[in-house]
Structure 1
Amino acid sequence: MIQISQVTLRRGVKVVLQNASVTLQPREKVGLIGRNGAGKSSLFALMTNRLQADAGDVDIPPRWRVGEVAQDVPETDDGATDFVLQGDIPLMQAQAALAAAEAADDGHAMAEAHQALDEAGAFDAPARAQALLLGLGFRSDQLDAPVNTFSGGWRMRLQLARALMCPSDLLLLDEPTNHLDLDALVWLEAWLKRYEGLMIIISHDREFLDAICNVIVHLEDQQLTRYSGNYTAFEEMRAERLSQAAAAFAKQQERVAHLQKFIDRFKAKASKAKQAQSRVKALARMEKLAPVMTAGDFHFEFREPLSLPNPMLAFDGISCGYAGTPIVQNVSRSVLAGQRIGILGANGQGKSTLVKTIAGAIPLISGKTTQGKGLVIGYFAQQEVDVLCLDDGPLMHMVRLARDVGPAAREQELRDFLGRFRFVGDMVQQAVGSLSGGEKARLVLAMLVWQRPNLLLMDEPTNHLDLQTREALSIALNEFEGTVMLVSHDRALLRETCDEFWLVAKGKVEPFDGDLDDYQKWLLDVSRAAARGQPIPDPPRGNSVAEAPAPAAKPKAAAPAPAAGKPSAPAPSKAPSPPPPASREDRDKAKQARIKQAEVTRPLRNELAGIDMRLAKLAAEKTALEAELSRPDASAEAYADLGRRLAHASAEMAMLEERWIELQTQLEALQAG
């Protein structure tokens, strides 16, 4: 087992761990979670001796083999299969031993080397390596392609395959799903469920954590807290723990106030001095409980669109691609106001190409796109650097956006706005190139919100977001009144925000008549058919994506995919499963209810916005009047006039504040109903 005891770890001036302890048992599948920057990757570095603890002990059995995904892929001409095979350390050692024995013509050493090769599974090693590559989305014609011909995302898949190829007792995976599409993600889940050793995964994908993990370790406030069960079970237990801590803190605060009141009242009276002094001692002895605060609390919302054209977009036989070569062709679809469209498909099929074309980032090859009057597109690019200038700070990005796109604003307004996205103080001037992936993603979200779009095109928005920010994004998308087109491998986000799905495959864009469970089942059917040499089954399809989708059958649990690695033991006992997803009919009802509620509450929200603007003007006017009244050189008539204007402004503010409370109460009642 792994035992972390009273560990303190510093990175520069930042304390990552402070007297932290946790114990992990063999064969456990552990999800290591915490907000971005909490120190999860630093803990991995501590366990692999890349960092040394400032205090405390990290005890890992010395004979344990550790598998980890390397972050840097070397420039090499080695083929993909050979590169993955090199991750099998015992196999490489046995091959080296055989070569040395043959060079020395040592028969005994050759026999031992052959035995080691047999134990390492040398006979089927190439087949196992290729099964890993195929499972992670590589095509058959790429299995022997040189490593240096692959892009960055595919090289990270090669590193993942290499880590999975290595026999290990401890497997450390840091965000293994970031460069995977849903097809590869389903396969990876099935493989990891059969892994025999202790596995620790850093991930912000809640469904992935629910499917894989039976233990959650939460890194927060420099402490490690262990929870049994998957992520859903963790949420429930942590909510209960926070509730109990909040109640204990409130109770203690009442006790402190009572003691302090007695001390303040009687400490000067001789007759009560002894009793007052005993309460002072009781107060000093009392262990102070901290107020319950969650550092991950983060909320934002998209502004109400100025208009909702319907249809938003109409595609007439469009073809999308690069340099005149189409990837998807002859797309004829309509995008309507209020739709929530999830775009599915394997990597390389053209999902991002379609979204980039709609956003205007790449030109149409052929066909025609008709935009609704007043269409405002907000585009979240998969690679944030596509829309960010790495040398400028967040404030400069917002200044440029307000100037070139609008709405216009003063610098202080932009600073206040960035503060709502956790860009505060000098951070607004920090070069974007030095920001973390999560911070860059939050900046792109801030820029989207500022533009007040009515159509959101989001291409993998969660790649660098922690769980709390993903939850905030899900809530914001559900409350957004416009249209959403979403490409994501985060199934929780797709389930919570999308009412229908498009499938991009074989150069076409077709409606997918089902939910994510149906999609995963279809992917497994495709995998089985390909393995057996049978015809690939067609996906379920609806009649038209512009029509309301018919209610889908109840989702069925997806069967596990066959493992691609060495034979392994059965998966551990099943962890608590997440609540079942809503049916298609329920999602349609929720969509209609959301649209209806927006229509009912719009007049109230408009009046509230008008009151807010008027109150801001009155507050500024009141401040100016008070400054004028403080001048010693004003005449009596001027004083009288200023006094009357100040009284009128105060009276109007009081009236508007009463109306604001009344409207807010009505709005909350409607939203609660």
Structure 2
Amino acid sequence: MRTTLLMASQTPIVATSQQTRFNPTETPDIQLEQVTVTINDRELLSDATLKLNPGVRYALVGRNGSGKSTLLHAIADRLIPGIPSTLRMTLVTQILKENPTTVIQGTSTVLDHVIDGHMELSRAKFEYDRLMQSLSSSSPVESSRIVDAILLDRAKISLEEARKVAARRSGARGKDARAAEIKAEEDVQKAEKRSASGMMDEMWAATANVLLAEIQVVLELLDAANAESSALRILAGLGFTPEMIKSPYAALSGGWRSRAALATGLLVPADLLLLDEPSNFMVAIFKILPIFVLGINSLIDYLQDLQTLLYLERILSNPINPSQTLVLTSHDRTFLDNVVQETILLRHAQLDYGSGSPSQFEVMEAEAKLSKVKENDALDKKREHIEASITKGRRAAQQSGDENRQRMIKSRQRKLDERWGSETSSKGGRFKLNRDLPGFHDSRRLAIDIEEDEKEVRIRIDVPSDLRPNGTLVHLENVGWGYSKDNLIGGVTMGVEQGGRMGLLGANGQGKTTLAKLIVGQVQPRSGNITRHPNMRVGYFTQLAVERLSEGDVSKETPLHHFMEQTVTSNAEARPFLGRWGLGGKMASQTPIGMLSGGQKVRLALAILLYQPPHLLILDEITTHLDAPTIVALVSALRGWNGAVVLITHDRWFHKVLIEGMAIEGDDENEIKETKAAAIIIVLLTSLAGTLFPVITRRTPRLRVLVHPLVFQIAKYFGSGVILSTSIVHLLEPAADDELGPANTISYGGCISDAWTDYPYAFGICLAALFFTFLLELCAFRLGIAYLGQQLGDYSSGPIRPPSRPAELEAGTNANPENDTDVKAINNTGKDESKVAPGEDVDPESGIDIKFKDSDESIPPSAQILGVAILEFGIVFHSVIIGLTIAISRNNQFNTLFIVIIFHQGFEGLGLGTRLSFLQLPHKWHFAPIIGSFLYSFATPLGMVIGLATRTSLSMTSASAAIASGILDSISAGILLYSGTVQLIAQEFILNNYYHTCPWKTVVMALTSFGLGAAIMSLLAKWI
């Protein structure tokens, strides 16, 4: 049989099932074969078996969009032919369909609203009151009119039921149903005619007494006298306080209205109770935070929700009617495990049944799959062996011409083709053909059917555009708001940072959604101030987003049309973007929004919000309609996203993962942590290689002869360019633009006056650091140069090598032979300079001077040591900040940052290492360059270790962290600028007499290497 239902969107839901004229329709169970449910040519069920036995509690599980809610509606509306007509059914949906105007204008209390939801009881009480009014009335005409009105209402209800039955039946039973429908139409016409005539029925009193007696029986069966007490008990169990029960229903928040709807469903007696996500607005037991990390208010809220959830588990597990059947959907796996007895899995348009809870069903299914895989592998190996034996036997039979053997080989091949498959039955016993595979089949064995895993859910969120200046997006200062004089929330001071994560916890009705509306600007505070970033984009997912997509004209639109209308984009751009959110193909262009599941509507709402990626995303109960795989995919995407998130949720697991950084079992986060831990070793080795290579090579004669001297000169000046570029492009420019820029007035939280907010703090701090470095070096020269000079022998006796030394070497003379002993004591080259032949230090092909110059011979070694020490201090200082930044970077930024950092550390290390290797040191200080190399090499890994340890609580885009980072970067820039301009440029090229006399090609080579290092580092600064 076939049943068609036209919804408000005029999209047909077609339901069919196999049914005969002898099918029982008055039994309390449902046993239907070949059930097919189709929406808009999309089959949600295809030739499935629907079995619901009395007194059994079922869990209906499946992915978002698989059709769980539609199946529940099809059962509750009796769309599937064969559902017993006498079966009393109650459906509590996850999407409330209320008239907002009626709710706001209504004055009924929560208690009245719940009792009025019991339609049969409400109708019986209404008719009872009207009949009592008619019997006590002094006007017979009025009394007769009341009785006629009741009879007319009953006739209309009977007609509606008759039309539903006639629409679902065909054949002989359909003919009888149509006759009953015609009879009901005639009864309505007679009742309308009698009511419109205004004539008094002489038998009205007798009719009234008969109706009254019937209604009294109904009221007794429905236990009307105890309905109010039952409603009070259920409401209290679901967490309603006495004050809330007496308060207007219109004052309830969305979460409490859902609980009120659930209370109505539990109050109405039913043979089949269908609950669609009843625990959405309650805490999930398996997703709670540890008690010791909860504040006192959150702990109280948690205990209240836990008590409510335990009450719901108890009342569902022990119903008043023991033969009541329960079908339950929920994303709370523990809740299902504690309530249900059997599991129904909706997958691939089929219904799979299993005993036990979903967790038990999952384990049994995994074990069965593993067993099938092992059996299939064993059969494959056995088949390979048999086929090899057949091939070998066929070859031997052909060579010998033995026909009997050839017939035997063909028989074996035929048996292999016909009897190959599983040797066990579906129940686990030995396979028997007549019992386990009756009828006609292509094979005499059951094929091993291994269920394919469902496609993994993946969500990708685009990165928002850069927002300048960096810092706070929204700042609330002593904000208060409320419906009356007493504020619902008051004295709120908080800030939302760029890239930050903030979670709002609390019981229903405590003002979480109101605080979100204050952040967005939908409501204005009654007290306090709110400052918002002028250039930010905000995306706000409300807890009523799904309900709004289910109402009015919006529910009739297709997802594609609605998306294009909301985002003002083209069809070509909208289709692939919706496809990323699982809304592609015909579903996007043909299925009305009203026909989508709750999870699919959430995806549509998120797609609209994230098409233009916002800088601030506010999520209010985002997990309410999502299944577990989608929740995991969403939280994984949000953790790697660099926008700011404000989260309101009852899902403590989602809160802990997104806000507190808890790792997801089986997620890529653990792999990312391992990758970053491995990156620490790689960065350390790269830094050590860069700094130790010139130091060790120049100290080891055997290695020194293997490396062309030109390599050291190029590395030295290339690294110098990297260092100077780092100070300006990587340190000073970001500090000025982002952390300490003049436009960043929000970041200071009002602690400074407006006049000072325009001051360029980054440049001021950099200048102060530069001047302080100069003073430090000046004091070091005045106070420490004497000690170093005595140790090195270069202070009291003057320069070891006079400025004229290079000229003397070129002439081949030894103008100062008495100093040769001192020279050889501190010269690391190991080569007697007095024996250098003319022209030996010039490359014959390029003309470039390739002779090593340990340092400027006119500058005392002590001065060189102090200069390199200050240079290394600045490099080490900013290397720690670099390591901290890469460790706490988002997963999607880490790969790029890591590659750039490797380049940076390697060549900056070469620049520092060559200067360490050129220092002229006494023998007792020969380990100083190696110690300096290790200090630099361990600086960035140290910052990475600190970053990994604090990554869940530290956000470099927060106002405080941004200011701290800007100050440190500015200080580092000042130190490196001083060292770069004085040590790497002035002393290297201007004050160094060597570059006054060397060939111009040597100068060009040095400057080219210097400029190339600066240029490449400037380009790579885009990603650092």
Q: TM-score, normalised by structure 2?
A: 0.41
CA distance in 1, matches of 2:97, 2:615: 40
SS at 1:44's partner residue?
helix
Distance, in Å, in 2 between the alignment partners of 1:598 and 1:42 is 43
CA-based RMSD of the aligned residues comes to: 5.5
Q: Is the 8 A contact 2:256 2:508 kept in 1?
A: no
CA distance in 1, matches of 2:542, 2:122: 42
After the TM superposition, which of the residue ranges 384-393 and 310-319 deviates more from structure 2?
Answer: 384-393
Match of 1:604 in 2: 895
Q: CA distance change for structure 1 residues 21 and 159 in 2, over 3 Å: closer, same or farther?
A: closer
2:68 to 37, 40, 50: 40
CA distance in 2, matches of 1:166, 1:189: 20
Corresponding position of 1:205 = 332
Q: Select which of 168, 179, 194 maps to 2:315.
A: 194
SS of 2:618's equivalent in the other structure is strand
Corresponding position of 1:499: 660
Distance 1:606 1:419 in 2: 30
Residue 225 (str. 1) matches residue 255 (str. 2)? no
Which letter maps to 2:649? Answer: S
Corresponding residue of 2:38: 11
Letter in 1 for 2:49: A
Letter in 2 for 1:489: H
SS in 1 for 2:513: helix
Bigger radius of gyration among the two: 2
Kindly tell me the number of residue pairs found equivalent between the two proteins. Answer: 509
Q: Does 1:421 align with 2:581?
A: yes
Distance 1:351 1:226 in 2: 41
Q: Does 1:334 align with 2:492?
A: no
Q: 2:599 aligns with which of 418, 438, 448?
A: 438
> 1:560 maps to which residue?
none
Aligned to 2:115: 85
Query: Does the aligned pair in 1 maintain the 2:642–2:890 contact within 8 Å?
Result: no
Cα gap change, 1:264/1:3 in structure 2, threshold over 3 Å: closer, same or farther?
farther
With over 3 angstroms needed to count, the CA separation of the structure-2 counterparts of 1:392 and 1:85, relative to structure 1, is: closer
Distance (whole Å) between structure 2 residues aligned to residue 349 and residue 135 of structure 1:
19
- Within 2, Cα distance between the matches of 1:601 and 1:109? 72
Is the CA contact (8 Å cut-off) linking 1:22 and 1:224 kept in structure 2?
no
Gaps of 5+ in 1: 404-409, 501-545, 547-592, 610-669
Task: State the 1:50 CA deviation.
Answer: 1.4
Of 120, 123, 129, the residue aligned with 2:231 is 129
| Alpha-carbon distance in 1 for matches of 2:73, 2:489 | 43
- The 3-state SS of whatever aligns with 1:85 is helix
SS of 2:37's partner is strand
The residue matched to 2:514 in structure 1 has which SS? Answer: helix
Give, in whole Å, the separation in 2 of the partners of 1:269 and 1:149. Answer: 90
Deviation at 1:332, TM superposition (A): 0.4
Deviation string 1:577-606 (CA, Å, 9 cap, x unpaired) is xxxxxxxxxxxxxxxx99946479844245
- 2:72 alignment partner, SS class: helix
Query: Quick one: which amino acid aligns to residue 266 of structure 2?
Result: L
Instruction: Label 1:189 to 1:497 Cα distance change in 2 as closer, same or farther (>3 A).
Output: farther
Q: Does 1:163 align with 2:265?
A: yes
Structure 1 position 165, deviation (Å): 1.4
C-alpha deviation, 1:34, in angstroms: 1.6
Name the CA shift for 1:371/1:23 in 2 (closer, same or farther; >3 Å).
same
Q: Is the 8 A contact 1:394 1:431 kept in 2?
A: no
1:176 to 266, 278, 283: 278
Q: Which amino acid aligns with 1:81?
A: L
| 1:207–1:491 contact (8 Å) kept in structure 2 | no
> Structure 2: which 5+ residue stretches go unaligned?
1-27, 136-204, 284-300, 320-324, 399-405, 421-441, 662-748, 750-883, 901-947, 949-1024
The TM-score normalised by the length of structure 1 is 0.58
Counterpart CA distance in 2 for 1:24 and 1:604 is 55
Alignment of 1:137-536 (within 5 A): 143=245, 157-178=259-280, 187=308, 189-195=310-316, 196-197=318-319, 198-245=325-372, 271=398, 274=410, 276-282=413-419, 285=443, 287-290=446-449, 292-295=451-454, 297-303=456-462, 313-320=474-481, 327-335=488-496, 340-370=501-531, 377-384=538-545, 390=554, 393-394=559-560, 397=563, 401=567, 415-429=575-589, 433-434=593-594, 436=596, 437-447=598-608, 450-453=611-614, 455-480=616-641, 483-499=644-660
Q: Specify the alignment match of 1:583 in structure 2.
A: none
Cα offset, 1:77, TM superposition: 7.7
- Residues 254 and 544, structure 2, Cα contact 8 Å, conserved in 1: no
- Measured after TM superposition, the shift of residue 351 of structure 1 is 1.5
Q: 1:200 to 1:368 in 2, by over 3 A?
A: same
- Structure 2 CA distance for partners of 1:395 and 1:8, relative to 1, 3 Å: closer
- Looking at structure 2, the residues matched to 67 and 320 of structure 1 have their Cα atoms a distance apart, in angstroms, of 40
CA deviations on 1:491-530 (whole Å, 9 max, x unpaired) are 4433443439xxxxxxxxxxxxxxxxxxxxxxxxxxxxxx
1:242, CA displacement in angstroms? 4.4
1:389-445 deviation line (CA, Å, top 9, x unaligned): 945754884797597xxxxxx976764443222232354445874562432321333
* CA deviation vs aligned residue, 1:435-494 (integer Å, no higher than 9, x gap): 624323213333555545554321111233233322322333344455432112334433
- SS of the residue 2:476 aligns to: strand
For 1:468 and 1:600, locate their aligned partners in 2 and report how far apart those are by CA, in whole Å. 20
* Greater relative contact order (Cα < 8 A, sep 6+): 1
The range that moved more, 593-602 or 231-240, is 593-602
Q: Which has the higher strand share?
A: 1
CA 82–324 in structure 1, closer or farther in 2 if over 3 Å, else same: closer
> 1-side partners of 2:527 and 2:513: how far apart?
17
- Partner Cα distance (2:344, 2:487) in 1: 46
- In structure 2, relative to structure 1, the CA distance for the partners of 1:24 and 1:367 (3 Å cut) is same
Q: Aligned letter for 1:10?
A: V
- For residues 477 and 250 of structure 1, the distance between their equivalents in structure 2, rounded to whole angstroms, comes to 40
What residue identity is the alignment partner of 2:308? W
Q: Distance in 2 between matches of 1:174 and 1:21?
A: 18
Cα displacement (A) at 1:18: 2.1
Is the 2:255–2:508 contact (alpha carbons within 8 Å) kept by the matching residues of 1?
Answer: no
